[in-house]
């Protein structure tokens, strides 16, 4: 255990986040997402919600310029509660986010540096964050 590090940030996950370069992406996905099939690097946090996982990741990962995050567009185009919570965990608003079609979101997994699969069971509980620059 390390002081000041969110306990959800396992050694494996911290290693991947540290290895990411500027603009590399991390996907935090719900339990429905085909993560095992799509991931090059997969970290599982099965007992965790997507917003909690994102909050932990954001405690050590600066965001790249806008759009700060990508969310999957819901079936009816509405902003869902889990998406509002994801935006809050990222510390951004909808205007700083991009909403993408489900299949485009799946395609983005191909270039994701790491995929973090949570135990989130609410639909559309997925988000992409891109690593920004660490300040001096």
What does the pLDDT read at residue 1? 66
Q: Where are the domains of the chain?
A: 23-130
Strand 25-29 with 127-130, pairing = antiparallel
H or E stretch at 17: helix 11-19
Out of 16, 22, 32, 136, which one is annotated catalytic?
22
Is 134's pLDDT higher than 90?
A: no
What does the pLDDT read at residue 9? 97
Neighbours of 107 (CB within 10 A): 12
Is 47's pLDDT higher than 80?
A: yes
Q: Specify the fold of 23-130.
A: RbsD-like fold (3.40.1650)
Does the annotation mark 22 as catalytic? yes
Task: Summarize pLDDT for 51-104 with one digit per residue, the tens.
Answer: 999 999 999 999 998 788 999 999 999 999 999 999 999 999 999 999 999 999
Query: Using an 8 Å Cβ cutoff, are 106 and 20 in contact?
Result: no
What does the pLDDT read at residue 135? 76
Q: What is the mean pLDDT of residues 107-116?
A: 96
Residue 123 has, within 13 A of its CA and on its CB side, a CA count of: 8
């Amino acid at each position: 255990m390390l002081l000041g590090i969110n306990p959800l940030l396992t050694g494996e996950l911290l290693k991947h986040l540290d290895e990411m370069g500027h603009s590399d992406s991390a996907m935090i996905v719900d339990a429905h997402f085909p993560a095992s099939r799509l991931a090059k690097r997969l970290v599982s946090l099965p007992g965790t919600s997507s917003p909690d996982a994102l909050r932990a990741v954001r405690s050590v990962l600066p965001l790249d310029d806008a759009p700060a995050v990508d969310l999957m567009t819901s079936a009816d185009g509405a902003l869902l509660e889990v998406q509002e919570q994801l935006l809050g965990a990222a510390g951004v608003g909808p205007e700083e986010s991009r909403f993408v079609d489900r299949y485009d979101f799946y395609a983005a997994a191909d270039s994701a540096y790491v995929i973090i699969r949570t135990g989130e069971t609410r639909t559309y509980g997925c988000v992409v964050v891109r690593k920004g620059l660490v300040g001096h």
